Structure formats: structure tokens, C-alpha cells
Amino acid sequence: MEGFNSGSSSSKPNHVYLSFRGEYITYKFIDRLWAALESNDLNTFLDDKKLDPCDSIFLPPHFLKAIQQSNISIIVFTKNYASSIWCLQELSEIAAHPSDVRDQSNSFEKAFAEHEQRFTENLSDVHNWRLAMKRVAIRPGWYTPHK
């Protein structure tokens, strides 16, 4: 399949991590999504399918590293997604990340502290922004029902 790579050979950091369980129709969708992301200069980590998930029940370390270092994770849930132990491990690792947004820790904490210092006269605005971010962090992503 053209365009698929694990990102491990690239010196660019991964901006996007794609998690999916492949079937023919999924590959067509993922290939187009990957190409669109890459054409917009977003280095995208994607399983190169050279590794056989049957070789190990543990997700390879470079997958975990890619998830942890990516700015965005996109999960494509197909009907067979949950049958893959690797997909479930990816999902678990990805699910740990929104806590930074929800809890407003790390870079989010720093940004809001700066806003509070800058907008001392409008702390209610900063408070509203914090609440909005917390609400968005607990919402599920985009869902398209299968017909």
C-alpha cells in the first residue's frame, strides 16, 4: 500500500498518530487520509503492516513512543477494531492524553496562568475559557453511524 510508513525512519516528529484495524475499505480511507495529512506537512505515524501482530501481544515500543510524542491522534473505529490487541493498547495509551486538556496540566496549565496574568481585569473570561476546554475534553470525537 502506497504511502504507509511507521514514521520511524523520518527525522521529523510525528504530528498525527493514526490508529485503525484494517480491512480493504478501511485501507482506501486511511490511504487517502494519510495522503491528505502528509500533503499538509503533517508527519503522520502509520503502521507499515510489515510487523505481524501475532508475533507479540505487546505493542512495539516505537508505537508507544509515537503516540506519546504526537500532537493529534485519530482513531478510526471499524467493526473489527476491538478484535486487535494492538488497537486496544493504542487506544489505552491515546486515552491517557486528554487528561492534560481536561485537567489543564503541562502546557495548558502554563497557558492559562499566562492568560490570568494578562487579563487580570477579565478573569471571568479566562474562567469561561477553562470551562469550555474542560467540556470539550470530555466529549467524544466525530461519529458517523454505519448504515
Which residue in this structure is represented by grid cell 490570568? 116
Residue matched to cell numbers 469561561: 128
Helices 107-118 and 123-137 sit at what angle, rounded to 10 degrees?
160
CA gap 31, 4 in Å, rounded: 7
**Given the residues 90, 93, 114, 116, the one annotated as active site:** 90
Helix (H) or strand (E) holding 85: helix 85-95
The residue type found at 69 is Q
What contacts 24+ positions apart, CB below 8 Å, involve 142-145? none
Handedness of CA 74, 21, 10, 56 (dihedral sign): positive
Is 2 a known active-site residue? no
Query: Would you please indicate which residues are annotated as catalytic (active-site) residues?
Result: 90
